[in-house]
Structure 1
């Protein structure tokens, strides 16, 4: 109990509050945004999606509490089974998965669906942070220290692309890139990896189907086909424009009633803009930015390489996914079906980010705990001698 008491004395409650504020905003806006869809699809039950998300929130809360108190170093010991378990889950999708929106990426458990690719993001961050922290002294040996984890990344990406889920694949690749970039790898090896990634991206662009290519047209020229490909983005523009600075009022959205498809998932930020205005969007963006920047700060000040790399990976995951979702909502990026962290409807996504937030706060608490430890006399003498 004394250990837990000391631990909670160093918990970053600002970070914790930011996470729960976003979850609260998400629950409220999911209820508001999904009323029309719920009534249409589920026999006049206006709270269908809200009730399901609330159930996932309580599951996420239990997992959050667990990851909050479990020392983050534990994951390093389990990194190999975690990453191979992630690969096994992705493989299981092709055997037992369900196809939703032309992607076979779901596994049904009872009446609920889970997306294994969501949890792979965190699993890969744990693995890469562990492997690169162990090989710090051998990072210049590219073939023995870098190629093996890269092969794991490639296998995971290929399994996700095969579903196909290019949005999640892009986020997974970005998380891997952030951890690798922060690992201390030599510059020439980084440039080699960047060049290889650009070449691979160019190659995969030729494999996009006509439907996938149409998403680029919809993002950059939605008004060329306002009734089909550009329909969703145009209605998102209408929603955010109607909201103005302060919004039309909570629950007063018009676009959620059959005009904007998936208003509670991919485009929930548009409904936030319509009902709460630019100020509502600003609050969500500031909370997300605070969590991401705080996570990177934790990584910078941390003395444990593994903890720092894991903090970078988690913060990068939240930041990149936020950018992909928001970029699609404003037409900067193609629509990929990626949810907004902590806010959009989706049980897998909410559980993933609550688990990740618990780990991030755990790392933060350990960093601040070590910073507040008194320096021993021998250490003081040693540093004094070095200074002389």
Structure 2
């Protein structure tokens, strides 16, 4: 087991396998969790599944593209991606173009049933642009100076956070903040800097929560087992009901009771609760194990590379996916306030799925760039393997067979 775990291609197969398994299982659960909601809207039962399937097809193309893109091209595209994302996030605030969903002004209407959430692409843009910026400064040995460590990286991140908070989406803002801290930590920021930034972020977060009754009520529902006098903890409590009724192996695929109008957002933010109800503890632990494998593989790629851009980008993507998964699952379990963020690769939503699958493709490309992994993959090509065997035969003494 130890030898298998230390093989050069372990991270490559973990990222590819866990990413695809999470996506396929998510497709199954989106269909099961959304069919009743679709029928309530007088839509076909497969409506949300078909949209998610289309997003998976497009996302698979992005994954394959990212997995084959050279690192230089990734770095070159980081600046246009950041500028384009900022432009779209500004358009969100323009009346007639931006659209509010569940009280958050963070969507652009594209026509028909399609909408776009630019802030989801903002996570990927910040990671690639920040990784390129920090890598160039590291090559010039400038990261030991605070001004080069913070500027312009932190101001640009704060600009993105401000645009997100204009729309009221605090969940996405928390994840973007985690990405910011993750990249600063990888760049070697001193502890006192983290303490100062965390203190400022904590004060700003406290003020934003205190001035919003909606956000304050979400904190009051952490660990709640009662609906509350006005039903303010309805979603949190029914999420626990769904998990509790699943038992060890669940009630069976498609047999959820909570998705019949009791649990809000069953196919998006609370799809993990439906998974627990239908597939039981075995299903939820399987999902957790897949995310743990993906997170471990991302850390391994970031830790073994000698390329600073790859280290920052892989670390940023791993921080993004793992923190978002922890926030989503923690909210469903009643351990964290409901932040309104989807479970990566698993929940319904093309705007969240597409950049995440592109990020998984980046991790696959980075895992392939490891010299030992390159050699192992080359040996698996039939032509290379045959040439290697011929060389070995030629090197043997004439008397050997």
TM-score (norm 2): 0.86
The reply on whether 1:35 has 2:35 as its aligned counterpart is: yes
Which structure 1 residue ranges, 5 or more long, are not aligned? Answer: 1-8, 374-388
The reply on whether 1:154 has 2:138 as its aligned counterpart is: no
Does the 8 Å CA contact 1:296/1:315 hold for their aligned counterparts?
A: yes
SS in structure 1 at match of 2:106: strand
Q: CA deviation at 1:368?
A: 4.1
Distance 2:325 2:105 in 1: 23
**What are the within-5 Å matches in structure 2 for residues 288-367 of structure 1?**
288-367=291-370
Does the 8 Å CA contact 2:161/2:176 hold for their aligned counterparts?
A: yes
Q: CA deviation at 1:11?
A: 8.5
SS in structure 1 at match of 2:344: coil
Which deviates more from structure 2 when the two are superposed, residues 34-43 or residues 70-79?
A: 70-79
SS in structure 2 at match of 1:104: strand
Distance 2:229 2:255 in 1: 24
Q: CA deviation at 1:203?
A: 3.7
Does the 8 Å CA contact 1:97/1:106 hold for their aligned counterparts?
A: yes
Query: Which residue is 1:169 aligned to?
Result: 173
Does the 8 Å CA contact 1:139/1:186 hold for their aligned counterparts?
A: no
Distance 1:32 1:78 in 2: 38
Does the 8 Å CA contact 2:224/2:236 hold for their aligned counterparts?
A: no
The reply on whether 1:121 has 2:123 as its aligned counterpart is: yes
Closer/same/farther in 2, CA of residues 11 and 211 from structure 1, 3 Å limit: closer
Does the 8 Å CA contact 1:265/1:346 hold for their aligned counterparts?
A: yes
Please tell me the root mean square deviation across aligned C-alpha atoms, in Å: 2.0
Query: Which residue is 1:107 aligned to?
Result: 108
Which structure 2 residue ranges, 5 or more long, are not aligned? Answer: 1-8, 377-401
Does the 8 Å CA contact 2:14/2:293 hold for their aligned counterparts?
A: no
The reply on whether 1:266 has 2:274 as its aligned counterpart is: no
Query: Which residue is 2:288 aligned to?
Result: 285
Q: CA deviation at 1:156?
A: 0.5
**What are the within-5 Å matches in structure 2 for residues 1-388 of structure 1?**
12-43=12-43, 45-95=44-94, 96-111=97-112, 112-136=114-138, 137-206=141-210, 208-221=211-224, 223=226, 225=228, 228-368=231-371, 372=375
Distance 1:209 1:39 in 2: 34
Q: CA deviation at 1:298?
A: 0.4
Closer/same/farther in 2, CA of residues 305 and 51 from structure 1, 3 Å limit: same
TM-score (norm 1): 0.89
SS in structure 1 at match of 2:257: coil
SS in structure 1 at match of 2:250: coil
Closer/same/farther in 2, CA of residues 227 and 237 from structure 1, 3 Å limit: farther
SS in structure 2 at match of 1:107: strand
After superposition, the C-alpha distances for 1:8-30 in whole angstroms (9 at most, x for unaligned) are: x9992332121111111001111
Which deviates more from structure 2 when the two are superposed, residues 26-35 or residues 360-369?
A: 360-369
SS in structure 1 at match of 2:152: helix
SS in structure 1 at match of 2:226: helix
SS in structure 2 at match of 1:191: helix
Distance 2:176 2:144 in 1: 24
SS in structure 2 at match of 1:129: helix
Does the 8 Å CA contact 1:10/1:369 hold for their aligned counterparts?
A: no
SS in structure 2 at match of 1:138: coil
Query: Which residue is 2:383 aligned to?
Result: none
Q: CA deviation at 1:147?
A: 2.6
SS in structure 2 at match of 1:34: helix
